[in-house]
Structure 1
Amino acid sequence: MAVENVERCTGSRVLAALPYAVMAVVGAVDLTAGPGVGFLPLVSLGPAFAGLVGGWRRTAVVGLTACVLCVSLGVYNGLFESRRGLTALLSVAGVTAAGVVAAVMRQRREAELASVRSIAEVAQRVLLRPVPRSAGPLRIAVSYTSAVAEARIGGDLYEVVTSPAGVRIIVGDVQGKGLEAVESAAVVLGAFREAAHDEPDLPAVGERVERALNRHLAGERFVTAVLAEIGDGPQATLLNFGHPAPLVVRPAGAVAFAAPPDRALPLGLTLQGAGAPAPYEVPFAPGDQMLFYTDGVTEARDAAGRFYPLDERAALLKDPDPEAALRSVREDLVDHAEGPLHDDAAMLLVRHREEW
């Protein structure tokens, strides 16, 4: 972070000095070449660059400096004895005025963009609230990597709720992108948060979420999701709506995907003629870990087109701190992709405590 700040400050200083450097070069070349070459109008490059990268005040100062330089060089070369000097001065003044207008408009757009991003960040915090670091017998960590560096809101979703029946979890991926995906995610998360507290079992929670999605979105979009319920016993109950199966890692290093016995349709489609998925149990004892994720993780490709081998990277989860373990997986995922991800990637790691 410190290195990035230093690089950003250095870049800002270079951009601030660029207009003056350009005018100095033009002035030196004009003095060297003499009045017959006609370099003087190029002094306007100074305010032109300033208008692109600086504020309107800086652009005006650079433009005033350019006009003074233009007059000085024009008088020195005797250009004001003809129309050439006045033409050059008018050119510089015109470019300065255009640069000031451009800077004002750019700053206004930047302010609007900053406001939109601020609102988006607030919406993100409301939509994807921080999960608890511990709940019941579990220690929990979450990671969200956006496919777009500036993005704050995507279609991946997750939530952890402590209920009388145990800790209930949802991780899902909304079809599509943009505001429509955000709307779908909001519906799913809102329904899950209510149902997870009220319903006696996981299928009832899934049915509540399904009905909410169909009621609000009328079957236009679907959501793949996996729901989990983890209580005091040595097992976890899962309900999978067409989502990638969680990865279970045992203390001795054994790895297995907790795949459902039968494939099911995503949320938003099960009420359209197909039955709801059946819950199934997976052994989950103290020391075990379960990694929930979206397909942006397993479908990340390297330069050769190979998918990310999540099960082969399970050893990265050995760190005693779940957050550090998940951070290792995220860094390895980005290294595998050798650049920005092409899809959002969410991961939620739950670790069954070995000690109480």
Structure 2
Amino acid sequence: MRGRVLRPADGRYRQPPGRPAPGGPAGREDVRYRQPLLRVRGRSVAWAPPLLLLAGITVVDYNTTGEFRIISWIVLVPGIAATICGVWGTAAFAVLSVAAYVLVDTSWPHQYQTGLPDFILVTVGGVLATLACAVRVRGQRRMLHMRDVADTTRRTVLRPLPPGWGGLDHAAVYLAADTEARVGGDFYDVQPGPHGTRVLVGDVQGKGLGAVEAAAALLGAFREAGYHEADLTTVAARLEVRMVRHRAHTAALGRADGDRFATAVLLGFPEVPPDAVDVLLFGHEPPLVVGPDGVRHLPAGDGLPLGLGEFAPGPPTPRRVRLGAGETLLLVTDGVTEARDRDGLFYPLTDEVARALAADPRLADPRRLVAFVRDGTLRHCGGRLADDTTVFAVRRV
């Protein structure tokens, strides 16, 4: 499916099996990873198709009449090996092909031999296949290195969150619309501190590396202000200032993304009372409260998106909301709310969650909830995501 870069439902990063660690050197492990489908019980079987083709051509040619010679088809063997094997494996099949050609062709009477022209064809074909394989492997190593860089960038912007971080049970799923970038303008983080735990979820306007830079700037400001500032309104003000400063910097560089802004939800979980959460909305979709009593929307906020605060009459005011036992806050970006099916209909998030919750009250668990919304969104849009998508669920431990 297009645009499926997933963070597991428990919010933790796991290394894919058989994959070299991101940021590590591109070496033999990179080559092993190039064909994960040609593995049986963890062992590579990429050698099997060209070997079977070599044996098949040899046997068929040896058991046909002299007028029907197909031994020159053996030039296909190193060509097939070049697409799925390593350089040394391809070279080995090139040598085997030449040896098999000579052995089979000389076994026939002189009048039936294909002779020197086909020998040259098989030899040159093996050499070219080996060179082509070397070029392919080099390109794959470069691609894997760039993917490692993208993965490192993603983990820097969206850092892995430990289970129970800040006294919160949380889960997150991130799907990037740009499969090459593997990271976009959606962002989230949890920051515990002496004044309680703060949560930030948001979406930078636009796409591309400019959106990633803005998201990284906001997360950096949040991780500092969310820890040090006692007042949630002050944290919001620091985020607004950081967005304005970031835009001024990009404008000074002459870039065209100087009008970028970000919608966001800022949550504060104070230590007392233990059933309260303070909510600040910056032009973002209000969170859903999912719990034993059903699904409800939190009130819409009065804040403008971050970066547009100069147009607001004043700073946004946080609203304190009481959460019952077992209630979970569900926050999504517009990749979920604006996902369309073939008929152009939006994904009915609230109705889908309410229906599933009535059938299974355990859906309020953050891991189950984000997995359900992720699967429902992808199913609704047929896997064709038009925007970066984040699903984040959180509740007190």
TM-score for both structures, normalised by structure 1: 0.83
Query: Per residue, is there more helix in 1 or in 2?
Result: 1
The answer as to whether partners of 1:131 and 1:142 remain within 8 angstroms in 2 is no
Gap change, CA 1:268 and 1:320, over 3 Å in 2: closer
AA of the residue aligned to 2:339: A
AA of the residue aligned to 1:349: A
1:197 corresponds to 2:197: no
Query: Residue 76 of structure 1 aligns to a residue in which SS?
Result: coil
1:289 corresponds to 2:320: no
Question: After superposition, where does 1:51-62 map in structure 2 within 5 Å?
Answer: 51-62=82-93
Q: Distance in 1 between matches of 2:382 and 2:141?
A: 33
Question: After superposition, where does 1:144-163 map in structure 2 within 5 Å?
Answer: 144-147=174-177, 152-163=182-193
Residue 99 of structure 2 is matched in structure 1 by 68
Deviation at 1:205, TM superposition (A): 1.8
Gap change, CA 1:127 and 1:308, over 3 Å in 2: same
How big is each residue's C-alpha offset from its partner over 1:83-106, in whole Å with a ceiling of 9 and x where there is no partner?
A: x51111111111111111111222
Q: Distance in 2 between matches of 1:244 and 1:18?
A: 53
AA of the residue aligned to 1:346: T
Unaligned 5+ segments in structure 2 are 1-15, 18-34, 249-257
Deviation at 1:63, TM superposition (A): 0.8
Residue 252 of structure 1 is matched in structure 2 by 293
1:346 corresponds to 2:386: no
**Segment drifting more, 8-17 vs 284-293:** 8-17
Between the two proteins, what is the percent identity of the paired residues? Answer: 36
The answer as to whether partners of 2:279 and 2:321 remain within 8 angstroms in 1 is no
AA of the residue aligned to 2:297: F
Gap change, CA 1:321 and 1:226, over 3 Å in 2: closer
1:329 is aligned, of 362, 365, 373, to 373
Q: Distance in 2 between matches of 1:6 and 1:93?
A: 30
Gap change, CA 1:10 and 1:131, over 3 Å in 2: closer
Query: Residue 89 of structure 1 aligns to a residue in which SS?
Result: helix
Residue 266 of structure 1 is matched in structure 2 by 305
Residue 123 of structure 1 is matched in structure 2 by 153
Gap change, CA 1:171 and 1:71, over 3 Å in 2: same
Q: Distance in 1 between matches of 2:261 and 2:136?
A: 39
Gap change, CA 1:68 and 1:275, over 3 Å in 2: farther
Residue 138 of structure 2 is matched in structure 1 by 108
AA of the residue aligned to 2:210: E
1:20 corresponds to 2:51: yes
Residue 212 of structure 1 is matched in structure 2 by 242
Gap change, CA 1:69 and 1:48, over 3 Å in 2: same
Deviation at 1:151, TM superposition (A): 5.9
Q: Distance in 2 between matches of 1:73 and 1:148?
A: 52
Q: Distance in 1 between matches of 2:99 and 2:167?
A: 74
TM-score for both structures, normalised by structure 2: 0.75
Gap change, CA 1:261 and 1:148, over 3 Å in 2: closer
How big is each residue's C-alpha offset from its partner over 1:229-280, in whole Å with a ceiling of 9 and x where there is no partner?
A: 2322454332222222211234322x22224254x54223334x45566224
Q: Distance in 2 between matches of 1:277 and 1:145?
A: 32
Unaligned 5+ segments in structure 1 are none
1:86 is aligned, of 98, 113, 116, to 116
Residue 306 of structure 1 is matched in structure 2 by 345
The answer as to whether partners of 1:308 and 1:336 remain within 8 angstroms in 2 is yes
Deviation at 1:197, TM superposition (A): 2.4
The answer as to whether partners of 1:35 and 1:79 remain within 8 angstroms in 2 is no
Gap change, CA 1:10 and 1:305, over 3 Å in 2: farther
Q: How many residues align?
A: 347
The answer as to whether partners of 2:288 and 2:331 remain within 8 angstroms in 1 is yes
2:211 is aligned, of 160, 181, 195, to 181
The answer as to whether partners of 2:282 and 2:301 remain within 8 angstroms in 1 is no
1:166 corresponds to 2:209: no
Q: Distance in 2 between matches of 1:290 and 1:81?
A: 79
Gap change, CA 1:261 and 1:108, over 3 Å in 2: closer
How big is each residue's C-alpha offset from its partner over 1:326-356, in whole Å with a ceiling of 9 and x where there is no partner?
A: 3343334334444364433222212245xxx
Q: Distance in 1 between matches of 2:381 and 2:306?
A: 29
The answer as to whether partners of 1:258 and 1:282 remain within 8 angstroms in 2 is no
Deviation at 1:177, TM superposition (A): 3.1
The answer as to whether partners of 2:232 and 2:318 remain within 8 angstroms in 1 is no
Gap change, CA 1:281 and 1:8, over 3 Å in 2: farther
Query: Residue 217 of structure 1 aligns to a residue in which SS?
Result: helix
